[in-house]
């Protein structure tokens, strides 16, 4: 049996009021503040051998424009983490701010639904290494605007339309599982990879243990984002260090 490549483990830092928080099922009223200093958290991840960070501007997602760019700048300049940034990126100016603040990659979700042409222009300008498609799902349908708005777009169909244009990096969060520690949407990721071989899917939402990550790794999922499981010590940084060593 062939040995599978090791999945990339990507911690998430979600930002509200410049603080490190987690929501349950995308609900802004079910917020837990884990640390008031996101840079401190990022440095802790880096010291464990983590190379990449998923930084989400929840204020920006709600406001419709980038808000927490100063935190992005701090993390990008004071660590060596490769930061992918999302939340509130709706205009060329937002994108410019994010890249100038040090984002290595940006994730576009709402704009990819509401302004397809603008998203494709970003892709043409910056390329597949810098532009990630956000395909967040609720009951198999795309949800946008900080998950406050559900569409009637099936996830696989939505990703497919951009895959045909050359988009390869996709982050897909199962909103119903996010922050619930109930396990990820294994079937959803299997369906995406079966329908679109070659898509670089990053699983997100529901990660509850290292076993979940190992199962995704066995499936051949290239990357996984984990947040609450780390903050509540369901997965320890020592386990992650051991995995990579």
Phi, psi of 42, deg, nearest 5 = -60, -40
- In angstroms, the Cα distances linking 171 to 36, 106, 167 are 26, 11, 12
Does residue 14 have an active-site annotation?
yes
- Count the neighbouring beta carbons within 10 Å of the beta carbon of residue 114: 14
Within 8 A by CB and 6+ apart from 220, the residues are 4, 5, 193
C-beta separation of 225 from 54 below 8 A: yes
49's torsion region: left (phi>0), alpha (psi -120 to 50) or beta?
A: left
C-beta separation of 103 from 76 below 8 A: yes
- In angstroms, the Cα distances linking 245 to 39, 195, 239, 241, 242 are 25, 33, 10, 6, 5
Q: Which of 57, 59, 136, 178 is catalytic?
A: 136
For residues 63 and 227, give the distance between their C-alpha atoms in angstroms, rounded to a whole number. 22
Does residue 17 have an active-site annotation?
no
Q: What is the largest CA-CA distance in the chain?
A: 49
Q: β-pairing, 223-226 with 8-16?
A: parallel
For residues 218 and 189, give the distance between their C-alpha atoms in angstroms, rounded to a whole number. 12
Q: Which residues are catalytic?
A: 14, 136
């Amino acid at each position: 049996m062939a040995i599978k490549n090791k999945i990339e483990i990507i911690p998430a830092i979600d930002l509200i009021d410049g603080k490190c928080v987690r929501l349950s099922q995308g609900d802004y009223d079910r917020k837990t503040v884990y640390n008031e200093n996101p840079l401190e958290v990022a440095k802790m991840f880096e010291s464990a051998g983590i190379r990449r960070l998923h930084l989400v501007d929840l204020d920006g997602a709600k406001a419709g424009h980038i808000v927490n760019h100063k935190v992005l700048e701090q993390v990008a300049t004071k660590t060596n983490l490769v930061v992918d940034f999302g939340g509130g990126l709706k205009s060329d100016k937002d994108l410019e701010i994010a890249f100038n603040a040090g984002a290595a990659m940006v994730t576009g979700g709402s704009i990819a639904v509401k302004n397809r042409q603008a998203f494709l222009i970003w892709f043409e300008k910056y390329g597949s290494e810098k532009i990630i498609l956000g395909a967040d799902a609720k009951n198999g349908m795309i949800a946008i605007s900080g998950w406050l708005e559900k569409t009637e777009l099936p996830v696989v169909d939505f990703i497919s339309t951009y895959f045909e244009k050359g988009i390869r990096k996709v982050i897909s969060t199962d909103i119903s599982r996010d922050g619930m520690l109930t396990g990820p949407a294994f079937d959803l990721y299997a369906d995406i990879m079966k329908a679109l071989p070659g898509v670089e899917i990053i699983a997100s939402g529901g990660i509850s243990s290292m076993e979940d990550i190992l199962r995704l790794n066995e499936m051949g999922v290239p990357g996984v984002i984990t947040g609450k499981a780390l903050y509540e010590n369901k997965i320890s940084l020592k386990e992650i260090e051991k995995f990579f060593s």
